[in-house]
Amino acid sequence: MEHKDREGVVYLVGAGPGNPDLITVRARHLLDHCDAVVYDSLIPDELLVALPPTVDKRFVGKRSGRHSMPQHEINDLLVRLASQGKRVVRLKGGDPFVFGRGAEEAGHLREHGIPYEIVPGITSGVAAPAFSGIPCTDRFAASYVVFLTGHQAVDKAVSGVPWEWVAGAKNGTLVIYMGVAEIGTIVEKLLAAGMPADVPAAAIEKGTVSTQRTVTTTLSKLPDKIAEVAIQPPAIFVIGEVVEHHETLRWFQDKALFGVRIMVTRPGDQSLTLYRNLRELGAEVLAYPTIATAEDFRADDWDALRRITVDERWVVFTSENGVRYFLKQWHATIGDIRDLKDWRIAAVGDGTARALNAAHLNPDFVPAEGSTAALARQMVENLQLDKATVVRVRGNLGGDHVERTLKKTGATVIPLPVYRTFTVRWSAAAKEKLFANLPDVIVFTSGAAADGLADNLDQGELEELVTGAVVASIGTSTSNVIRTHGISVDLESKEHTMASIVNELVGCHRTRPLKRKE
């Protein structure tokens, strides 16, 4: 969509070191109000999956040593998008001006007369050590810190870092970015230039996320140590006395789900609280929604609803989505929420009831078991409905079991579609990233999410993804759909709520680690 009526602008935004909670308030605001986002490989999926479908998302990162787009093409893409009048977020890992080519992109934008803004981000050279209990500076051990790149620039035959000079520095900290492939050579240069062999050193892989690994040793033993434990990019190296703080100040790995990689298939815009709760417990979240929802507004149905005047009237909600879209349409067509006082309300379970509570509505009926079948059955068993009019709020999926069951009582039952659910199609880059970091746990919160996963993968891919992973389901009806795709369910929540499934995961992890079986 072009915006010819306004001037385009590019925001060069630092997304932080990998943990989505570490993005700045300014960066979050710009993401929420952008027209396009151009992003790199190490950007947390959570920052992207909840963006509206109208946002133009362009992946330009690096995968398996390959650049999906050369730098000059990225530069031109930014100019082109902004020239269409779009607000463009160029989302870069860490800080755009710390080994991030932000200056190159800003220079290109200036040459072409494109307005831009630089939004700093938390750089991994500070954040990853902090998550390992390693301070970059310490008034007793390090009065300065030096950030270095261990990666040789493409257009240079040798590194531009003066390693001989660096080796002579004392009472400070060296933080080396992008040096996994070069660390042997770097250590040789430092030792040859006189840096003591027994200086403490650390390697930190995937800093600030749950699968972060930290190993400590001495400078001379660092190359052998990282080879022994197979440290992989992204990783940074810390050299200096501050490394000794790791054993006493470490904190991140003590969380209940630390080291567990959990894939969430629920719609992204509905999962932010779940993502956050899992992260706060130490899990790494793989945000891979397989389905999404969109509003389905039908004016004639709402005109019919307004004409209902019987004394006994019910509105039945079987999902949180139903609550959300119904209330939006109620406000748009009828207006005052207080007009719902003449209606009695039924909710399928605790999650749907909480969605109603958030709008200051209390359901009159919630079944003991959280399923649509139980809702219909228990309404028939416990309520007098023969003179009632029942509005069944629904989406496009699922059968008409609720409607058919309630009609048997003599009630007038009116289906009211307010939203539709559809499959989210994953890009090739998203699938490649997923299969490079397979989940330990796959969480399904609806049967539709299981169907969406099967729609995105062929049979071989599906088997590779689920084999060795713990498959967690929110309830019986969801489990039944999961099994239709040949997937075994390992854990089923006792209650049909997000909180319950998280608690089940924590309890399971305490008794048997939720780690992928190779």
Question: d(Cα 154, Cα 71) in Å, to the nearest integer?
Answer: 12
Whether residue 82 is contained in a domain is answered as yes
Domain boundary (422, 456, 471) is at: 422
Same domain (yes/no): 324, 409: yes
Establish if 3 belongs to a structural domain: no
The domain tally of the chain equals: 4
CA distances from 50 to 47, 167, 273, 275, 325 (A): 7, 46, 12, 11, 17
Give the span between the Cα atoms of 324 and 355, in whole angstroms.
8
Longest dimension (CA), the chain: 92
Side-by-side strand order, sheet with 9-14: 56-59, 36-39, 87-92, 9-14, 116-119
User: Is 437 in contact with 429 (CB distance < 8 Å)?
Assistant: no
Phi/psi for 460 (5° steps) reads: -65, -40
Clarify whether residues 387 and 366 are in a common domain.
yes
Q: Are residues 413 and 327 in the same domain?
A: yes
Residue 308 maps to a domain: yes
What's the CA gap between 93 and 41, in Å, rounded? 8
Q: Do 66 and 137 share a domain, yes or no? A: no
**Within a domain: residue 2?**
no
Same domain, 379 and 309: yes
Distance CA 24, CA 353 (A): 33
Dig out the tokens for 225 from the structure: 């140590």
CA distances from 458 to 153, 284, 426, 463, 467 (A): 39, 25, 13, 9, 14
Which domain CATH number covers 377?
Answer: 3.40.50.10090
Q: CA–CA separation, 383 vs 408, rounded Å?
A: 13
Which residues of the chain have a pLDDT value below 70?
A: 1-5, 63-67, 152-159, 518
Q: Domain boundary residue among 54, 88, 122?
A: 122
Q: 3-class SS at 4?
A: coil
Domain termination residue (choose one: 92, 122, 152): 122
301: left (phi over 0), alpha (psi -120 to 50) or beta: alpha
Supply the pLDDT for residue 371: 83
Beta strands in 319-403 (DSSP E): 344-347, 389-394
Pairing of strands 66-67, 62-63: antiparallel
286 with 432, same domain? yes
Q: Tell the residue number behind the tokens 């000079």, with chain if given.
A: 165
Instruction: Classify residue 250: in a domain, yes or no.
Output: yes
Indicate whether 276 and 303 sit together in one domain. no
Is residue 441 a part of any domain in this protein?
yes
Return the pLDDT at 160.
82
Starting at the earlier edge strand, list the strands of the sheet with 235-239.
145-149, 173-177, 235-239, 200-205, 213-218
Q: Residue 133: give its domain's CATH number.
A: 3.30.950.10
Q: Which are the catalytic amino acids?
A: 40, 62
Which residues constitute the domain of residue 85? 9-122
CATH number at residue 89: 3.40.1010.10
Residue 4 lies in a domain: no
Torsion of CA 19, 25, 29, 34, to 10 degrees: -50
Q: Are residues 306 and 448 in the same domain?
A: no
* 44/101 same-domain check: yes
Query: Based on the domain organization, do 473 and 429 belong to the same domain?
Result: yes
Q: What are phi and psi of 15, to 5 degrees?
A: -85, -5
Is residue 404 included in any domain, yes or no? yes
CB within 8 A of 484, min separation 6: which ones?
450
Spatial separation of the C-alpha atoms in residues 413 and 394, rounded to whole Å: 12
If you count DSSP H runs as helices and E runs as strands, how many of each does the chain have, helices first?
Answer: 20, 23
pLDDT at site 154? 41
Which residue bears the tokens 């932010």? 272
Kindly state whether residues 298 and 406 are assigned to the same domain: yes
**198 lies in the same domain as 275:** no
Please list, in sequence order, all residues whose beta carbon lies within 8 angstroms of the beta carbon of residue 247, skipping any fewer than 6 positions away.
133, 216
